[in-house]
Amino acid sequence: MAIEVRTISVNDKMQKGYSYALVMGINEGFDPDFKPFYTPVQMLNMGIFEGKYLNDCHDEFPATWFKNANVSNHPNPKLNYFGIKSRQSLSVWRDKGWIYGPDPRGWFQWYCRYFMGRRLPEVDPIQIRRWRAFARHAGQIRKNCEPKDMFCRPRQRQALLQWSHNSLI
């Protein structure tokens, strides 16, 4: 099915004058090696990044994404699904070189834009490899926890959620 290419213009606190094309339909045309467990909406509703994510990006993404999202103007670990702090600051991500391409907020911003239909051949493979590598944390939970023991390794579970891997294993 052919899609009408749409252009999204971004003007938020971290990015001004950036635009990108949506060349796929929403949640369509994913790389076969990329099978995220959660949609961005599910992640926002469950509670990620202490509620402090995409707060000023409501114009870029559908309003329905934020209807039931656990967001806050200030980081609040209690808003995370597992109720604990489980993130590093953006400055740490920058210092470690973990920000790729035109997504200054990192992997989740890339995923949201990818989910919407943006494709960047020079960036997508890098981010998909990073997502696949993060699955190692699920292995640690399986090795060290009883199945579905949500109190075992909650930081790793929260991190899995924030990378769209099944955190409820």
Q: How far is it, in rounded angstroms, from Cα 152 to Cα 135?
A: 17
pLDDT of residue 98: 81
Task: Quote the CA–CA distance of 148 and 42 in Å, as a whole number.
Answer: 19
* pLDDT digits (tens), the chain, 169 positions: 566 789 999 999 999 999 999 999 999 999 999 999 999 999 999 999 999 888 888 899 999 999 999 889 899 999 999 999 977 777 887 888 888 889 999 999 999 999 999 999 999 999 999 999 999 999 999 999 998 899 999 999 999 999 999 999 9
Three-state helix/strand/coil letters over the chain: CCCCCEEEEEECCCCEEEEEEECCCCCCCCCCCCCCCCCHHHHHHHCCHHHCCCCCCCCCCCHHHHCCCCCCCCCCHHHCCCCCCCCCCHHHHHHCCCCCCCCCCCHHHHHHHHHHCCCCCCCHHHHHHHHHHHCHHHHHHHHHCCCCCCCCCHHHHHHHHHCCCCCCC
